A and B are shown apart, each in its own frame.
Chain A
Amino acid sequence: MLQTHQLTKRYEDNRLALDSLNLDIQPGRIFFLLGANGAGKTTTINLFLNFITPTLGKVSVNGIDASAKPLEARQHVSFLSENVMLYGNFTARQNLDFFAKLGGKTRLSKADYYCLLRKVGLQDEALEKKLKTFSKGMRQKVGLAIALAKDADNMLLDEPTSGLDPKAAAELVNILKEQSKAGKAILMCTHDIFRAKELADEVGIMKEGRMVKQLSRKEFLQEDLERIYLEYMGQPMNGIDKTIHEKR
Chain B
Amino acid sequence: MKNFKILLVHELQQQSKSFIFVLMMAVALLTAFICGYIQVDDFAERQAVYREELRTGQAQQKEALAYSQFAVPVLIAPNPMSIFYRGVDESIGNKSMISPVRLPDLESTSQRRNPFLAMFANLDISGIVKILSIFVLLLAAGIIPGERETRIWHLIFANSVKGFAYYLAKFCATGISALLSLSVLFFVAGILAAVHPMVETAGAFWMRLGLTFLASFLYLSVFATLGLAVSARSQHAGASVLWGVLVWIGISFIYPNLIGTLADRPLDAENRLAVREIKNIEEECVREFSSLKKWHGLDMMHLPFARYFDSNIPEQRLLTRSEMEAVISMSEKGVLENELANWERLWPILWKYQQGIQDQKDRMRQKQLGQQRSHQSLTCFLPDMLYEQSLASLAGTGIEYRDEYLRGELRRFRGQVFDYLEGKKAFGEKFFTLFPRDQWRDSWDDYTASEREIYGDFEKQENYPRLSTTDAPVFAFAEKFDFPAGLPVLLGVNVLLFVAGLGWFQKR
Q: Which residues on A are within 8 Å of B, measured CB to CB?
A: 49, 51, 70-72, 74-75, 77-79, 81, 83-87, 89-90, 94, 98-99, 101-104, 106, 143, 146, 150, 156
Contacts and interface: CB of A to CB of B under 8 A. Distances in A.
Contacts of B155: 79, 81, 84, 86, 99, 143, 146
B159 A87 contact: no
B262 interface: no
Contact of B159 (A81, A86, A103): A103
20 contacts: A51-B157, A71-B160, A71-B161, A71-B162, A74-B157, A74-B158, A75-B159, A75-B160, A79-B155, A79-B158, A87-B14, A89-B14, A102-B7, A102-B159, A102-B161, A104-B160, A106-B2, A143-B155, A146-B155, A150-B159
B154 A89 contact: no
Interface string B136-162: 000000000000001110111111111
A49 B157 contact: yes
B142 to A, nearest CB: 13
Contacts of A146: 155
Given A49-B157, A71-B160, A98-B10, A89 B151 contact: no
Contacts of A156: 158
A81 B6 contact: no
A81 B150 CA distance: 11
Contact of B152 (A77, A86, A101, A103): A86
Interface in B1-35: 2-3, 6-7, 10, 13-14, 17-18
Most chain B beta carbons < 10 A, residue from A72, A90, A94, A102: A102
Given A79-B154, A104-B159, 15 more contacts: A49-B158, A51-B154, A70-B160, A71-B160, A74-B157, A74-B160, A81-B154, A83-B151, A85-B151, A87-B14, A89-B18, A99-B155, A101-B6, A106-B2, A146-B155
Nearest to A102: B159
B144 to A, nearest CB: 14
A73 to B, nearest CB: 8
* Those 9 A-B pairs whose CB atoms lie nearest each other, nearest first: A79-B158, A85-B150, A71-B160, A102-B159, A101-B6, A89-B17, A74-B160, A75-B160, A98-B10
Contact residues of B: prevailing secondary structure:
helix
Contacts of A101: 6
Contacts of A75: 159-160
B156 A102 contact: yes
Contacts of B159: 74-75, 99, 102-104, 150
A171 to B, nearest CB: 21
Contacts of B161: 71, 74, 102
A72 B151 contact: no
A89 B150 CA distance: 13
Contacts of B3: 102
Contacts of A103: 159
Contact of B6 (A86, A102, A143): A102
Contacts of B157: 49, 51, 74
Nearest to A70: B160
B6 A85 contact: no
A30 B128 CA distance: 60
Nearest to A143: B155
Contacts of A70: 160
A150 to B, nearest CB: 7
Nearest to A130: B17
A87 B152 contact: yes
Contact of A81 (B2, B17, B151, B160): B151
Nearest to B149: A85
Contacts of A84: 155
Interface in B157-199: 157-162
A150 B7 CA distance: 16
Nearest to A79: B158
B472 to A, nearest CB: 70
Nearest to B5: A101
A98 B10 CA distance: 7
Contacts of A71: 160-162
A99 B160 CA distance: 11
A87 B11 CA distance: 11
Contact of B158 (A72, A77, A87, A98): A77
Contacts of B10: 98
A119 B339 CA distance: 113
Nearest to A71: B160
A86 B159 CA distance: 15
Contacts of B18: 89
Most chain A beta carbons < 10 A, residue from B10, B158, B159, B161: B158
Given A81-B154, A146-B155, A72 B6 contact: no
A106 B3 CA distance: 10
A86 B146 CA distance: 11
Interface in B111-156: 150-152, 154-156
A9 B155 CA distance: 22
A84 B155 CA distance: 9
Nearest to A73: B160
Given A98-B6, A98-B10, A101-B6, A85 B160 contact: no
A72 B161 CA distance: 10
A195 B7 CA distance: 36
Nearest to B2: A106
A99 B3 CA distance: 10
Contacts of A143: 155
